[in-house]
Structure 1
Amino acid sequence: MSSAPTCAQVLMRLLREYQVEKVFGIPGVHTIELYRGLPGSGLQHVTPRHEQGAAFMADGYARASGKTGVCFLITGPGLTNAATAMAQAYSDSIPMLVISAVNRREDLGMGRGRLHELPRQSDVSRGFCLWQHTLTQAEQLPEVIQRAFQLLSSSRPGPVHIEIPIDLFPAPMPGAIDDYRAAPAAALPAAGSAAIDTASQWLKNAERPVILLGGGAQACAADATALAEKLAAPVFESLAAKGIVDERHPLCGGANLTFSAVRERLENADVVLAVATELAETDRNLVGENYAFKGKLIRVDIDPGQLVCNGNPDLAICADAGETLAQLNRALPAGDAERQQTAAAELQQILERCRAEWWPGSEERFPWVQALRAALPDDGILVTDSTQLAYNTNHALPLYQARSHVTCTTGYGTLGFALPAAIGASLATERDVVALIGDGGLMFTLGELAVAVEQKLPLPILVWNNAGYGEIRDYMDAAKVPQEGVNLRTPDFPALARSFGAEGCRIERPEQLGPAIAEALGRDTPTLIEITAP
C-alpha cells in the first residue's frame, strides 16, 4: 500500500498539470521538505545566484513563451530579495507564480525571533501582486493553485504569491497523487455584439483611423495585421508591444509613440483603436502629456480599470484583446489596396519625421543599432536593460515577431534585468536570444552569468560600457548638476567572463559586432561582448 502524497509532492504534480516545465529558485533550510517533492516530478529546477535573479529569469521565461514563470523562494530574505523583480513583473503585467515558505503556523505573528522571520511577510508582496495567499491547511492547496492559474490565464496577468508554512510541506494529503489535476481554463471574455457593431461602424466609416497596440496584445499578431489591412490604418506599438506586427509591414509604425509626428497622427485621427495598452508615459518614453484625442477613442482591455486610465474612451470594451480583434475582423469588409498604399505612403513620411528626432546627441550610436539589426536573426529575441544603446534600439531597431522585445526600460524600469531575463528567455524557447545591458546594470546581477554557463546557453551578452550611469550623467549635465555618483570603476569584463567559464571579448567598432554575435550563437556557452561606448 503506497503512502499518502505530501503537500510538496501534490504541489509539484499540480504545477506539471498546469504545463509548468521549469522553476527558478534557491533552496534554503526552510524549503528542504519542499524540494523533497521535486525529484521525479518532471520539473526542471534552475538555480540562480540571487533570488532577484530567480524572479527576473521567471519574468524573461514568461515574456518569451507566454507561459507562467515560476519561482521557489525561502522565507524572509528570499521573498524580499525577489521583491524588485516581482514589482517589475507587476508593472509590465507578466504572469508569474511565486511559491515561498513562511514560518510554522504556530509562530506566525508571534514575534519569537525565528529564523528568517518577518512580522508580516504577506504584507511585503501584497502591494505588487494580483493575489497573495497564505496556506493554513494542506488540503487547501489544490483550490489555491487552481485559483492562481485562473487569475494568471484569464485576467490581466501579473505575479501571484502563495506562501506555505514550513510545517505544511511534509503534511499528508488525501487520496493518490494521480487524483490531483488541473482545472479547465476559463473561456476568455468576448465583446458584446452591440459594442462590436458600434466599433466596426466607426472604423469602417473612418477616413483616418489608427490602431495602437499595447503589451497585452502579444497573442494578436495575425488579427492585428489583418485589421490594419482592412482599415488601411497605420499601427503604432508601445515598447511592450514592439514586434507584434512585423515592423517591415508597410502599415507598421513601430514603437515610435514618443515622437511628435506620431502624436500628431494619433491626436488627429478620426478613430483610434487602442488595444491592451495603458497609454502610459513610459510608452512615450516620458515625453509629453497624455494624448489629446480629437476623434473617437475605442479602448479594448481585459482589465476594466485600464479602460479609463490616461484617456477616457468614447467606447470601452472590457474583453480579451485577441477575441475582440477577431470579432472586428469578421465584422469588417475586405480592405482596399489603393487605400493601403496611400496610408503606407503617409506613414513613411511620418517615420521620416521620427527619424529626424531619433538621433540628436546620439548619432554615434546609429551604426551600432544597424550592426545589431544585421546580426540579430529574423526571429531573434532582444532582451534589453536600461542603458543608452537600448533607448535607441527601442525605436530604431525593427523587430519582426511577437515576443521579440523583452525589456525593462518601461514601467518600473529597474536595472540588472537583462542578463537573468535573457537566461529565462533562452530556457523558454528555441529562438536565438541576445542580451543588451550597460556596465552599471550588469553589476547588479553579474553572478547570474554562472547560470548561463551551467545551462550551456549560446547567449551573446552585449555590455555597453560607458564607465558609469551614462544616461543619468547626461541628465545631470543638462540640468547643470555636478556629476556625482555616476562615474564608475568598471572591471575587465572579458576576463571576468572567462573566470566564470564563459567566453569574453572586447570590440570597439560596429563592423566587429556581427562576427562577434555569430560566433557567440555558435557556441555552447555564453559570450560576454564588451562594447567600448563612443
Structure 2
Amino acid sequence: MSQTCAQQLLSLLEAYGVDTAFGIPGVHTVELYRALGQGRLQHVTPRHEQGAGFMADGYARASGKPAACFIITGPGMTNIATAMGQALADSVPMLVISSVNRRDTLGRGQGRLHEMPHQSQTLAGVSLFSHTLLDPAALPEVLSRAFAIFASARPGPVHIEIPLDVMAAPAPQAVTVPARTFPPAPAPAALEMAAEWLASAQRPLLLLGGGTAASPKAARRLVEHLDAPALTTINAKGVLGLDHPLDLGATASLPAARRLASQADVVVAIGTELGETDYDMYTDEGFRLDGRLIRIDIDPQQLGRNQAADLAILAEAGQAMNGLLEHLPAATRRDGAARTAAVRHELALADDPELAPYVPLYATLREVLPEAIVVGDSTGPVYAGNFLASLPAPRRWFNAATGFGTLGYGLPAALGAALAQPQHPVVALVGDGGLQFVLGELGTARDLGRAVAVVIWNNDGYDEIRRYMSMSEVPHLGVDLAAPDFKALATSYACRYRSVGDPSSLGQALAELGADASPLLIEVDASAWVAAL
C-alpha cells in the first residue's frame, strides 16, 4: 500500500534510529498523528512548544542522538524558536518538523489559520538549515541532508516544514535503509606536525570542548600521555572522569587559569569554539594564548573564530585525538599534575566567598546521588556549579547558563534527559524565577512518571540580575518577584514536595528520590541555607 508523505516521514525517522518525538497536536499536524500510534516512535506531549524543544535538547545532550519535534504552523514555531536558539548555540542535534499552509496559499497573506509570512526564513536564523518540502518525493533527500549533518558535521537544529497538502499527498518512494555517514578524519600531515610540536613542548595545555564528549577515553589518554593540564568547557565537564589530577574544569575565565593558558608554549583546543561564555565570562577579553595554538574542530568555520590558530585541523574530535596518540612519541613527564595542583591551590574555589554557599550543595549532590545527571537553568547555583562540580562521565552536566543563555530550560531539559537515560537519577537545578517560565511542564513530569528531582533555589526573584544591578549602581527594578506556593503547586500536579534550608535536610530529601516514580520538588530557602552555613 502507498504511504502518505506524513506516514513515510515516520517510517524514515524510525529507519534513522529516532525513537522519541515531542509535540503538541494541532489541526495542522493531524496527518502526522494519524499513523503515529502504529509505529515504535514514542510521543511525549509537553505543555508548550518551547518545552518540546528543551526536552529534545536535554534528550540529545544526555544520549548523544537527536529526537524529533512535531510543531504546528505559526505560533508553534515562534514558541519553539528560543529552544532552537539554545540548541544552535551549544551544537545540539534536533530535528524540528513543522506544518505550513497549503502550497497554493504560501506568501499570499490571506489571513489563514496560523499563517506566518516567510516562516522558513524566520526559523533559518535558529537552525542549520530550514527547508520547505514542496514535493513528497524530495523527503528522503532532505532527511538525508539533516542526518548527514547530525552524524558528520557540527550538529544543531534542522527545520523541515511540510505544507498541509504535501503532508497528506502520496509518497512515491519506498523507505530505504539510510546510508552510513562518517565524520571527517584528520589529515596525516597535520597530525604529524601537531605531534612534532607537542613532542618538544615544555608547558603544553589542552582545551577540551563539548566536541570531546563522545570520546572520553581518547581525551583521557591524550591528556595523560602529554602529562598536560586540561581546561574543559561547561559542555565537556566529566570528560576526564571524577577528580582527575590533570583536570582544571571550566575555570578558564578565572585569573589563575588564564595565567596558565598564557604561559603554555603549545595549546591544543579540541571541539571548542573558544567562546565568551566558557573563556571570558567577565567580558574583559582577558583570555590570551601566547604559545602555538593547534585547533581541532569538525566545523571549518570554527577553526578561524575567536582565536587565530597556528595549525588548524578539520576533523571529528575522537578521530583526531586517537590519531595524535598514534603519531606522538613515548609519553614524557612534564609535571602536569603539579602544575594543575598549583593552579587549583591558587584558584581556591571552595574559599571564594561568591562560591562558598554552593560548596555544600554540590558535596551533598555528590554524596547522595553520585551518578546523577544534573541539568541546570540560568541561576546562581548553576553558575557556581560550572566551576565547582566534578562529574564521573560526560553528558552528566549541562545547562542554559552558557551559549544562548535562556531561562526556563532546566525542568523540560531534565525531563528529556530522564527519558534518554532512565538508568540515571536526574536533578533539575532551577531558580524560582526561571521555573516560573515553565511551570506547566510539571504536568508533563507527572505524566511521564519519572522520579526527577526539581531543586528550586528560592531567593525571591532574579537574584543574579539583582546583584548585577547593584554592581552597576542601577536601582532594583523588575527583579523582586513573589514566588508561588510551591508546596500547593506540587500537590496540584501530584508531585512530592520537601522544603529544606540546610545541606543535611537537602541530603535527606534527595535520598527519597527513588522511593517512587513521581517528580520530587525540593524548595531550598536560599536565605536560610546561607544563614545555616
TM-score in terms of structure 1 length: 0.96
- Supply the distance in 1 between the matched residues of 2:358 and 2:413 (Cα, whole angstroms): 24
Residue in structure 1 matched with residue 491 of structure 2 by the alignment: 498
1:65 equivalent to 2:63? Answer yes
Q: Distance in 1 between the 2:464 and 2:263 partners?
A: 33
* Superposed CA offset, 1:335-385 (max 9, x none): 24xx26x321221120121125872344333222322222232x3211011
CA–CA distance in structure 2, aligned partners of residues 329 and 437 of structure 1: 40
1:274 aligns with 2:275: no
Aligned residue runs from structure 1 range 67-216, under 5 A: 67-174=65-172, 179-216=174-211
Give the distance between the partners of 1:286 and 1:292, measured in 2 at CA. Answer: 14
Q: Give the distance between the partners of 1:522 and 1:189, measured in 2 at CA.
A: 46
Q: Give the letter aligned to residue 50 of structure 1.
A: H
Offset at residue 5 of structure 1 (A) = 1.0
Query: Corresponding residue for 1:30?
Result: 28
CA drift at 1:489: 0.5
Q: Are 1:298 and 2:294 counterparts?
A: yes
| CA distance in structure 1 between the partners assigned to 2:62 and 2:51 by the alignment | 16
Give 1:290 shift.
5.2
- Alignment match, 1:55: 53
Residue type at the aligned position of 2:288: A
CA distance in 1, matches of 2:372, 2:106: 47
Give the superposition deviation at 1:259. 0.9
* Equivalent of 1:507 in 500, 510, 517: 500
Find the counterpart in structure 2 of residue 251 from structure 1.
Answer: 246
Counterparts in 2 of 1:358 and 1:126: CA distance versus 1, 3 Å: farther
Are 2:440 and 1:444 aligned? Answer: no
Which secondary structure state, in structure 2, belongs to the residue aligned with residue 99 of structure 1?
A: strand
Secondary structure class of the residue paired with 2:277: coil
- Please list every run of at least 4 consecutive aligned residues from structure 1 whose deviation after the TM superposition is greater than 6 angstroms: none
Among candidates 36, 40, 43, match of residue 42 of structure 1: 40
One-letter amino acid matched to 1:507: V
The separation in 2 between residues aligned to 1:145 and 1:126, in whole angstroms, is 16
Q: CA RMSD in A?
A: 1.3
Contact 2:151 2:182 in 1 (8 A): no
Partner of 1:321: 317
Inter-partner Cα distance in structure 2 for 1:461 and 1:132: 34
Query: Is contact 2:280-2:287 (8 Å) kept?
Result: no
Cα distance in 2 for partners of 1:76, 1:181 equals: 32
Query: Quick check: 1:146–1:182 contact (8 Å CA) kept in 2?
Result: no
Say if 2:252 and 2:287, in contact at 8 Å, map to a contact too: no
Q: Which residue of 2 aligns with 1:482?
A: 475
Partner SS state of residue 65, structure 2: coil
SS of the residue aligned with 1:350? helix
The answer to whether the 8 Å contact 2:234/2:398 transfers is no
The 8 Å contact of residues 494 and 529 in structure 1, kept in 2 or not, is answered as no
Rounded to whole Å, the distance in 2 between the matches of 1:511 and 1:111 is 61
Matches of 1:123 and 1:352, distance apart in 2? 51
Report the TM-score when normalising by structure 2: 0.96
Residues 500 and 524 of structure 2 are in contact (CA less than 8 Å); yes or no, is this contact kept in structure 1?
Answer: yes
Distance 2:132 2:286 in 1: 39
Asked whether 1:466 is paired with 2:462, we answer no
Contact 1:247 1:253 in 2 (8 A): no
- Which letter maps to 1:197? E
1:385-534 equivalence runs, <5 A: 385-429=377-421, 430-534=423-527
- For residues 214 and 33 of structure 1, do their structure 2 counterparts lie closer, same or farther at Cα, with a shift above 3 Å needed? same
- For structure 2, the 5+ residue unaligned runs are 528-533
Could you say if the C-alpha distance between residues 254 and 356 of structure 1 is closer, same or farther in structure 2, counting changes exceeding 3 Å?
closer
1:248-287 Cα offsets, whole Å, 9 max, x none, are 1111111111211111111110100000111111003522
Q: Provide Cα deviations, 1:211-264, integer angstroms capped at 9, x if missing partner.
A: 111111111211111011111111110111111111411111111112111111
* Offset of residue 437 of structure 1: 0.3
Deviation at 1:334, TM superposition (A): 3.6
The question of whether the paired residues in 2 share the 8 Å contact of 1:301 and 1:307 is answered with yes
Give the % identical residues: 49
CA contact (8 A) 1:358 1:392 kept: no
State yes or no: 1:353 paired with 2:349. no
Q: How many residues were matched structurally?
A: 525
The amino acid across from 2:509 in the alignment is A
Residues 71 and 98 in structure 2, CA contact (< 8 A), matched pair in contact too: yes
Q: Is the 8 A contact 1:416 1:442 kept in 2?
A: yes
Give the whole-Å Cα distance in 2 for the aligned partners of 1:521 and 1:214.
Answer: 32
Q: CA deviation at 1:392?
A: 1.0
Deviations 1:473-504 (A, max 9, x none): 00111111111100000111122012101111
| Residue in 2 that maps onto 1:310 | 306
Compared CA separation, residues 326 and 40, structure 1 to 2 (3 A): same
Indicate whether 1:370 and 2:360 are aligned: no
Give the partner amino acid of 2:158. V
| Partner residue, 1:219 | 214
Q: Which moved more, 1:390-399 or 1:59-68?
A: 390-399
Gaps of at least 5 residues in structure 1 are none
Q: What letter corresponds to residue 487 of structure 1 in structure 2?
A: D
Alpha-carbon shift at residue 144 of structure 1 (Å) = 1.0
Stretch of structure 1 that moved more, 349-358 or 418-427: 349-358
